[in-house]
Structure 1
Amino acid sequence: MDVVTDRTAGIDGAVRTGRALAEAAAAVLPLRWVRADFPLTAADVDPGFLTRALRDVAGGATVVAARPVGGTSGTTDRVRLDLSWDRDSGDLPRHVFIKSTPTSAKNRTMVAALALARNEALFYRHARSALSERSAPRCFSAHAGMGARHLLVLEDLTDRGGEPKALCDDVDAGYARAMMVTLGELHATFWDSPRLRGDLDFVRPERERPGFPLLLRQFRQVRSKLLKSAEYELPREVREMAAFVNANDWALHANWDKGPQTVIHGDTHLGNTFGLGDGGVGLLDWQVLYRAPGMRDVAYFLVTSVPVEVRRAHTDELLQTYLETLARNGVPAVPTRDQAWDALCLFAFDAWDSAAITLVWPGLQAPENVAKSVERANAAIVDLDVMPVLRRSI
């Protein structure tokens, strides 16, 4: 039986990798060589498309002009549009935020191989409506095609007082507590939900994610480079952890399949959050969502994004806030405090990996973000003394 299971897993993994490679192959083709039934870039978005996308909030009004007022390029291209309507009304959106196909073939390749654009479009189509207004931006239109071609029309959060954060920002304990509440509400909503076997079946377990074997290999290469290079100074505890993970990564990642499963955001660093005037916190960029224990999101945020002194002083309180939020939102068997601490120590290596890759892959984050997240992640690995939990977990 074990042999059959292993063979089946190997076949399934090969199929997933093959699909990821096919998506990557389409991604490297010139942008307009792959057809889509939606605008590929913000420049292709015209007033007629926007009028149709915004019909549920427009009350019959028509967009007559859309002017770009700033944007960035990365894993997606992002442009803010200033809208003009055929009539004046305080209820009409004055801006929208467009996320669309990367113009860079290199970025398209990564987005396609990992199904990032498809994930986010499906999140907004199927899962967003189950969450609170503050949890994520409102989406007016979501499209995804082959080779990372995609387009999202999102609300402009600044129009309702949202303040997007940068990864290098320093937040206080109040912001971190609000983030624990948001994560607790997200995870409670989908905690062992039958929808994970229904309309949310696209939210795959970690080791079934498109491109996961490729990602695992990439992280091994990152750890090996950091361990061998004299260019990077790593604390002794971090070097021990990185060497252990390189030798045992597949077995360690098997822990993602254990315990209650839920929809996790998957990339809960500070730069993917926004604060609101009422003290609430929401999440941006839902491209990496998958199925896993909720504590993985919690660990990722605490390790990469909370200032070191704040984390040291408030981790126990923050974990308790998260657990209480799960209970308040109907989770029947909430993890214990000790289980939450063990999960934090287990998932910390994965958060460290995500900071470390930005050191050796220029352009993933701005230099100031890289410096701050790596500093926080190194300190967290040392402070948490992760090795006893990692050794018990394989």
Structure 2
Amino acid sequence: MSTPPAGVDDLTPQWLSAALDTRVDTVDATRIGTGQMGSCFRLHLDGPEIGGRVPATVLAKLPAEDPASRAMVAGTYRGEVRFYAEVAPTLDIRVPGCHHATEVDDEGRFALLLEDVAGGRVGDQLAGCTPAEAIAAAENLAGLHGPRWCDPTLAEIDGYAVSGPDDAALMGEFLPPAVDTFLHPETGIGALVSDEDAATLREASSLLPGFLLARPERFAVTHGDYRLDNLLFLPDGTSVALDWQTVNLGLPARDLAFLVTTGLPIEDRRACERDVVAAYHARLTSYGVAQGLEECWDDYRFAVLTGLLVEVFGCAFGARTDRGDRMFATMLARTCAAIRDLDTLALAQG
């Protein structure tokens, strides 16, 4: 992999010509997105060969501009670069094509040049999705899990590992104050959380460190944040998965349960979740995975607890915004309803 640029101003025609192995005469960069974990730009390219193998627009993902912020999350940058450069080609999930990936240097600088997927609509975590969209995203997710299901060589990839006792101990230390912060009406979103959901969260929180270690006999590459805001829905009814900074190894059903229980409005989820899980399972078994549908359903019920981890830690330690507060409150309400509907706490305790 090549040496990364210092910033967007270094994405010159000369640098891009070398990176894309085609002549680039001019480039115009337009910032897109909010850039909480990094920066993203749409690059408009021009040159005699542009429009063929290399399209006229590509997306450039760069790190945060602040050096301290870059250093703090350099590990997540390495995980995303490694996914696109090394892991994605071995899987069957639809993701943006990677035109070029640099190394991540000691200062946390990197560059990813990715496909600018045309015609896609980003999902909306607040609004939720339709059952058809949930099925499309679940079927695409099976293409992440199935091809390397329980593949022991995944542990040989630098940075990839299933959670261990140290991870569970660390969670046990940080989770109680995080829950208190999350539910506080001033420091968190307690004012937006019902008493019933707060009680469900507190009851479930004691089970979460053990949940992190459970069912290690089934693992695959997991996205870690497979939700609507990280998905594109295309006009042909398929989906594309974005933002691979939280990728690791784990129980595959965690991604599935997080998608379904936080993305579908509660009544829609109750009506169609069996169909979504069945669609995921059907594609999963097409890769030769020998998991029965009822075992898949059992993993799904168990894995609903995943939502609590993302919601609590994401809100308690992330940057606060009005939309973010409403999003986490909506996600928590959907997660807690699913926990109660599916009797997840009894399953986890057993």
TM bracket, shorter-chain basis = 0.7 to 0.9
1:189 aligned counterpart, secondary structure? coil
User: Match of 2:97?
Assistant: 138
Alignment identity in percent?
Answer: 24
CA 229–88 in structure 1, closer or farther in 2 if over 3 Å, else same: closer
In the alignment, does 2:195 pair up with 1:239? no
Aligned to 1:179: 137
Quote the residue 2:312 is aligned against: 356
Would the aligned equivalents of 2:163 and 2:250 in 1 still touch at CA under 8 Å?
yes
TM-score of the aligned structures, taking structure 1 as reference length? 0.77
Letter in 2 for 1:206: S
1:224 equivalent in alignment to 2:224? no
SS in 1 for 2:112: strand
Query: Does the 8 Å CA contact 1:164/1:274 hold for their aligned counterparts?
Result: yes
- Give the alignment of 1:150-229 within 5 angstroms: 150-158=110-118, 161-198=119-156, 200-207=157-164, 217-227=173-183, 229=185
**Inter-partner Cα distance in structure 1 for 2:342 and 2:195:** 13
Distance 1:272 1:307, change over 3 A: same
Whether 2:208 is the aligned partner of 1:249: answer yes
C-alpha displacement at 1:212, in angstroms? 8.0
State the 1:258 CA deviation: 1.8
1:278 correspondence with 2:207? no
Q: Give the match's secondary structure for 1:203.
A: coil
Shift of 1:204: 1.5
Bigger Cα displacement from structure 2, 311-320 vs 373-382: 373-382
Question: C-alpha distance in 2, partners of 1:328/1:372?
Answer: 34
1:63 aligns with 2:63: no
Q: Which secondary structure does the structure 1 equivalent of 2:191 belong to?
A: coil
Change (3 A) 1:248 1:197: closer
Q: Which has the higher helix share?
A: 1
Aligned mates of 2:246, 2:274 — CA distance in 1: 27
Cα drift, residue 329 of structure 1:
1.9
Residue 218 to residue 156, structure 1, CA distance change in 2 (3 Å): farther
* Distance in 2 of aligned mates of 1:192 and 1:130: 14
Deviation per CA, 1:7-61: give whole Å up to 9, x if none.
xxxxxxxxxxxxxxxxxxxxxxxxxxxxx93113223211112112222xx4xxx
Counterpart-to-counterpart distance in 1, 2:111 and 2:305: 33
Q: Which amino acid aligns with 1:38?
A: P
| Correspondence for 2:76 among 108, 112, 116 | 116
Instruction: Tell me the equivalent position of 2:261.
Output: 303
Residue 15 of structure 2 corresponds to 49
1:145 Cα deviation (Å)? 2.3
Relative distance call for 1:100 and 1:186 in structure 2 (3 A) is same
Q: Is the 8 A contact 1:195 1:201 kept in 2?
A: no
- CA distance in 2 between partners of 1:105 and 1:246 (Å): 35
Question: Is the 1:241–1:349 contact (alpha carbons within 8 Å) kept by the matching residues of 2?
Answer: no
Q: Distance in 2 between matches of 1:335 and 1:108?
A: 43
Any stretches of 5+ residues in structure 2 without a counterpart? Answer: none
User: Residue 85 in 1 paired to residue 44 in 2?
Assistant: no
**Matched positions, count:** 342
| Residue among 58, 62, 85 paired with 1:96 | 58
Q: Which residue of 1 aligns with 2:36?
A: 74
Asked if the contact 2:208/2:305 (under 8 Å) is kept, the reply is: no
Whole-angstrom CA distance in 1 between matches of 2:79 and 2:172: 19
Q: Paired residue for 1:4?
A: none
Distance 2:10 2:173 in 1: 37
Q: 1:248/1:171 Cα in 2 relative to 1: closer, same or farther (>3 Å)?
A: closer
**Corresponding letter in the other structure for 2:115:** E
C-alpha separation in 2, matches of 1:305 and 1:37? 38
Partner residue of 1:340?
A: 296
Give me the TM-score of the superposition, normalised by structure 2. Answer: 0.86
Answer with 137-146 or 224-233: which moved more. Answer: 224-233
Secondary structure of 2:299's aligned partner: helix
Q: Per-residue displacement from partner, 1:185-218 (whole Å, max 9, x unpaired)?
A: 21111101243144x3532113489x88666654
* 1:330 pairs with 2:288: yes
Q: Is the 8 A contact 1:165 1:274 kept in 2?
A: yes
**Counterpart in 2 of 1:3?**
none
Quick check: 93-102 or 164-173, which moved more? Answer: 164-173
Contact 2:76 2:245 in 1 (8 A): yes
Corresponding letter in the other structure for 2:291: V
Conserved 8 A contact 1:358-1:364:
no
- State the one-letter code of the partner of 1:108: R
Instruction: Quote the Cα distance in structure 2 between the aligned partners of 1:309 and 1:85.
Output: 52
Residues 314-360 of structure 1: CA deviation (Å, up to 9, x unaligned): 011111111111112211x21432x3333233222221231234444
Indicate how the Cα distance of structure 1 residues 247 and 179 shifts in structure 2: closer, same or farther if over 3 A, else same: same
Give, as a single letter, the amino acid of the residue that structure 2 aligns with 1:141. Answer: H
Cα pair 1:42 1:99 within 8 Å, conserved:
no
CA distance 1:166–1:46, change in 2 (3 Å) = farther
CA distance in 2, matches of 1:166, 1:207: 33
In structure 1, the residue matched to 2:6 is 40
- Relative to structure 1, is the Cα distance of residues 197 and 228 closer, same or farther in structure 2, using a 3 angstrom cutoff? closer
